Chains A and B, each alone.
Chain A
Amino acid sequence: MNGHLFLGEQVRLSSDDPLKKAEAFSRWRRDSEFSRLLDSGPASVWSVSKIKEWNEKYEDKDPYSEYFFTIHTIEDDRMIGFIGLDGIRWNHGDCWVGIGLGERDYWGKGYGTDAMRIILRYAFSELNLHRVSLNVFGYNPRAIHSYEKAGFKHEGSIRQFLFREGRRWDLVHMGILKEEWEQNARRDG
């Protein structure tokens, strides 16, 4: 049994109080680059109370349909982002993963990849899913590289899905199967 299910090398997955999360999300959302890397909807700004309201509505939903964590650094226990599984189709064993690092200082340093490795282990060895899916915007090569490192394979692109800064961009789909994750785990010892 793995006693460190929520622990990685640089980060751990955690849970924080609604107000703390809402304050961070409201602040992160004012960084339009963060918002445009995260969502295809129009970037906008939201008050702490509005975000708290949404989060609470979310938490009232079926607890078995999504698993949401905050990401904390191990070195100084700072909350730097979130990661979550949602859209779980239990009958098919498939789900979506979404991740966001709101603290820019932690971009491109392996924190996100580490969080992704933890949640894949959670998806495959605790939730017993068969695969994990994600999509990522064509203008986010840093994320694509991170997902490749975590073991995701390219599964195609929705052509010209996004329209930003006067041009169109693809929506890239990636996925990882349980058997691929197991192979990677064996390879990495």
Chain B
Amino acid sequence: MSIEIPLFYGNLICFTPIDREKDPEIESHWTHDPEYMRMVSLAPARPLAPSGVKKKYEAIEKAAEEGKNSFYFAVRTVPREGVESRLAGFVLIDWIEWNNGVGNVSLGIGDPKDRCHGYGTEALNMVLRYAFFELNLFRLTAIVPEYNQAALRLFHKAGFVEEVRQRQALSRDGRRWDLIHLGILRQEME
């Protein structure tokens, strides 16, 4: 661990601010994919117009500024020769309780073509480093629907363990699913 290690640049992806002009169009496309929407949200899935995404960004930035208990990064691919950087997803730490040193982490890779390339794994490792060694949190929680097997694998691989299983908390496609809470302590990262 050293102060020079970049917090916002990985080998494949980087953490960047929201681009309120260009990002809404791209994220709007993602929201038309019900599979993606159901992976990242428990709310009823519905497509968002670019204007709706823009409003969401404004709310995210306002919450981060006012509440000081959330951090959002737009995840972009690292530019390579001849290939421009592009928006690939997001990571979010929210519900931070500074007195307890706890927070909640979530992430999403929007375009199905961008999945299974290691972007999520790298983004998660980077956000853990940020949460534990910059924010100095003690632990993080991730809340994942039982049907999101890819996310469960990702979190387990990063060292999270299952802590809570809210039985039948979700209903989708005519059956019930558990809602799983995973956790990792800073000392488990070290």
- Choose among B100, B138, B139 the residue with the greatest number of A CB atoms under 10 Å from its CB: B100
How would residues 49 to 84 of chain A score, 1 for a CB under 8 Å from any chain B CB and 0 otherwise?
000000000000000000000000000000000000
Query: Quick one: which of B159-186 are within 8 Å of A by CB?
Result: 162-172, 176, 179, 181, 183, 185
A184, CB-defined interface residue at 8 Å: no
B101, CB-defined interface residue at 8 Å: yes
A162 touches B100 (CB 8 A): yes
Closest to A158 in B: B163
B168 touches A177 (CB 8 A): yes
A159 neighbours in B (Cβ, 8 Å): 139, 163, 183, 185
B102, CB-defined interface residue at 8 Å: yes
A169 shortest CB reach to chain B, Å:
9
| Given contact pairs A159-B183, A173-B181, A131 touches B169 in the complex (Cβ within 8 A) | yes
| Given contact pairs A41-B97, A41-B99, A133-B169, A173 touches B164 in the complex (Cβ within 8 A) | yes
B70, CB-defined interface residue at 8 Å: no
| Given contact pairs A158-B163, A158-B181, A163-B100, A131 touches B168 in the complex (Cβ within 8 A) | yes
* A interface: dominant SS: strand
Closest to A173 in B: B164
A91, CB-defined interface residue at 8 Å: yes
- Neighbour of A42 across the interface among B99, B163, B176, CB < 8 A: B99
Q: Tell me the complex Cα distance, A94–B42, Å.
A: 11
Q: Tell me the complex Cα distance, A95–B101, Å.
A: 26
Query: Quick one: which of A136-161 are within 8 Å of B by CB?
Result: 153, 155-161
B168 touches A160 (CB 8 A): no
A157 neighbours in B (Cβ, 8 Å): 163-164
B100 touches A175 (CB 8 A): no
| Given contact pairs A156-B165, A157-B163, A158-B181, A91 touches B171 in the complex (Cβ within 8 A) | yes
Q: How large is the interface on A (under 10, 10 to 19, 20 to 34, 35 or more residues)?
A: 20 to 34
B6, CB-defined interface residue at 8 Å: no
How would residues 159 to 189 of chain A score, 1 for a CB under 8 Å from any chain B CB and 0 otherwise?
1111100001000010101000000000000
A40 neighbours in B (Cβ, 8 Å): 97, 99-100
- Neighbour of A158 across the interface among B42, B44, B164, CB < 8 A: B164
B171 touches A93 (CB 8 A): yes
| Given contact pairs A157-B163, A163-B138, A94 touches B101 in the complex (Cβ within 8 A) | no
How would residues 106 to 133 of chain B score, 1 for a CB under 8 Å from any chain A CB and 0 otherwise?
0000000000000000000000000000
A175 touches B169 (CB 8 A): yes
A89 touches B100 (CB 8 A): no
- Neighbour of B166 across the interface among A41, A160, A173, CB < 8 A: A173
Closest to A180 in B: B167
The contact sample of 13 A-B pairs, CB cut-off 8 A, is: A41-B97, A91-B43, A91-B171, A93-B171, A94-B169, A130-B176, A131-B166, A156-B163, A156-B181, A158-B164, A158-B183, A160-B185, A163-B138
18 new A-B contacts, CB < 8 A, other than A89-B43, A155-B164, are A41-B97, A41-B99, A42-B99, A92-B172, A130-B176, A156-B181, A157-B164, A159-B163, A160-B139, A160-B185, A161-B100, A161-B102, A161-B139, A163-B99, A163-B100, A163-B101, A175-B167, A177-B168
